[in-house]
Amino acid sequence: MGPIMLDVQGTSLSAEDKELLEHPLVGGCILFSRNYHSPQQMTALTREIREAAGSDILLAVDHEGGRVQRFREHFTAIPAMGSLWSLAGEDNARAIQLAYQCGLLMALEVQAVGIDISFAPVLDINGVSEVIGDRAFGRQTDMIISLAAAFIDGMKTAGMPATGKHFPGHGSVREDSHIALPVDPRTFTDISSLDLKPFKALLAKGALSALMPAHVIYPEVDTLGVGFSAVWLQKILRQTLAFDGVIFSDDLSMEGAAVIGGYVERAEAAQQAGCDMLLVCNNRSAAVEVIDNANIRIDPAGSRRLGKLLKTSRTDWASLAGDSRWQQASRFIKDLMSKE
């Protein structure tokens, strides 16, 4: 599987989409709201993408719940993770049950239209970052760990591997890395004792199959942003935390990546630092530039890791309503949200 994940333009494939998807360096495709019209159309699109690629390709979406849910009409409205505690009446056991059902239902619905993974859950702390905010499970690390673990258990019941983001934590910096370059001046000890705790706890449980680093610079650890830093990705994540799953770059088109240089330089730096898959989204010319000019390679170890994320579920949208797991999760979530 190639190391580039790109996007497609609309609800069906253009000739240019097909040409890019069949390139050997392309091993992934991320879907957005503009690609969605109905479950049936999305199922047809994901099938078309796989046929155009001609070999294994990883299909992904950001479908966390709350304000980050790409598909809405006909899909169940999933609450923001930061609202689970209050929706559950501040009852811990009920909140854990709700998190589990949200993870299960999200994974069932996403996979039913032919997509392999959702980039979830967010393991950041709901601190000063507005772009994170209620995407996080809470402000306390113990709450984040317990609710995220339940959400992941739900995903895994449906057969979907979990991708934790944004390593080692984006919640304690105010700037939005989509439009700026966040810098966090704290020491590694401070980061490790707070933001990194959910990642360490869930890695220790073997709960995470993939991670996505933050476009944040922690100058007390390294002068490079996490997604371009061998210190963070190789020394800390691979060696110290013994993580052997997939490392996705965050979108290389984001402003937080611009400090590295142009798109070619960003892709090369991210792979050299240890990213298995490089996301180049919502910028077709950048994706073409990376494919044509970047000195990147297909890495056998990275391909092996990526292959483990491909879905094995055969559930389709037509049969979803008859799935007892979906029925129970949908009813549980809708009941609690109706009482809000």
> Residue 325 annotated as binding?
no
Whole-angstrom distance, CA of residue 188 vs CA of residue 196: 9
Backbone angles phi, psi at 279, to 5 degrees: -90, 125
- Closest alpha carbon to 334 in 18, 95, 102, 21: 102
Q: Annotation-wise, does 176 bind a ligand?
A: no
54 CB contacts (<8 Å, ≥6 apart)? 22
Q: Is 165 annotated as a binding residue?
A: yes
Instruction: Please report how the helices 263-273 and 284-293 are oriented relative to each other, as an axis angle in degrees rounded to 10.
Output: 60
| Catalytic residue selected from 91, 142, 178, 244 | 178
Residue at token pair 């934790």? 164
Q: Is 197 annotated as a binding residue?
A: no
CA 155 – CA 153 distance, rounded (Å): 5
Is 235 annotated to bind a ligand? Reply is: no
> What is the CB neighbour count within 10 angstroms for residue 59?
24
Q: Pull the structure tokens for residue 18.
A: 């097909």
**Which candidate in 7, 116, 222, 250 is catalytic?**
250
| Catalytic residue flag (residue 170) | no
Phi, psi of 315 (to 5 degrees): -65, 130
Strands (E), 136-290: 163-167, 210-213, 246-247, 278-279
- Residues making up the annotated binding site are 62, 70, 135, 165-166
Binding-site sequence positions for substrate: 62, 70, 135, 165-166
Active site residues: 178, 250
